[in-house]
Amino acid sequence: MSTTAFDQQNLITPDGHTLYVAQYGQVAGPAAVVLHGGPGSGTQPSVLEWFDLSRQRVVLFDQRGAGLSQPQGEIAHNDSNKLVADIELIRSHLNISRWMVVGGSWGATLALLYAGQFTQYVSALVLRGSFLASAREMTWFFQSLQAMVPQAWARMTQDWNEQQQSNVLQTLCQALLHGSSEQANDAARRWALYEEAIMQAMAGQMMSESIVPSATASQSEKPVSVRTLNKYRLQAHYLSHACFTSEADLQSMTAQLADTPAILIHGTHDLVCPPENAMRLKQAMPHAQLRWVAKGGHTPADAGIAAALKQAVMDQCAYL
């Protein structure tokens, strides 16, 4: 089946950002929008595998500053409320009356914020590996997770003093948002290598030699790609502002969703967004179905997670 977009366009927002938007499948079919993670990761065509493009209409877009949206890496006029407004701008612009909202990780956060404000336009929700924008999760990922990936954490914090190591997120954000180009490049590399090691750990793979700490290894051997630097700069911008929301805000949004069919998918071995998140979200959304993926990790590239997403999208189609 063809995964070629039947429509691609650049949608200009009222405050000067340009959003890359692509549509796939059938223009007359029931619609769904996929919200990518990050913040700043950009959309991936591989998500189309979750849908039946012979009968569905799927909208993909890059959030402000991410992927093919312009200006790339821009943090001005870039916050959670702006992203929610962008989603609604896209729906209205494409003349879609209602759609299924699918989001993973940060995309799940954004899906909850959007659905809580524009409930009347949301036919169903599918949330994977949900991130709840809490200080608890920040501490887990940047500090406590060192117990699970000690070599990677040591590599990330190599040559830092005790104060920097005790607040990894602040140290990385300071370099990415206020440091020199060399410091920003160094911080992006450290962060990227740390994430790579966590993904390897979830997949049960041995850590690659490039991630093992070395007394002689240089953290800034060569520049990271522009896209990688932009991705982590955007993440630093959002995380340093607690994603411009809170877990309490997200829970208040769920009060509007009692009549919205929702499926929560979470891997039991998710190290990025811990399984506790799914339990907390289920408590706030009693009507939602919580589907655990045994030994599943965080990324939708995980076969078990991908299969669960495909099944959830199929099941939610009954509401489209």
Instruction: Spot the catalytic one: 105, 123, 130, 134.
Output: 105
Concerning whether 270 is annotated as a catalytic residue, the answer is yes
The first and second tokens of residue 183, run together, are 């410091």
Give SS3 for 205. Answer: coil
CA distance 156 to 165: 9
Instruction: Spot the catalytic one: 17, 237, 269, 298.
Output: 298
Cis peptide before 39 (omega within 30 of 0): yes
For residue 295, the one-letter residue type is K
Concerning whether 186 is annotated as a catalytic residue, the answer is no
CA distance 77 to 182: 25
287 contacts: CB under 8 Å, gap ≥ 6: 258, 262
Spell 3-34 as b/e; 16+ CB within 10 A means b. eebeeebebebeeebbbbbbbbbbeebbbbbb
Q: Which residue numbers are catalytic?
A: 105, 270, 298
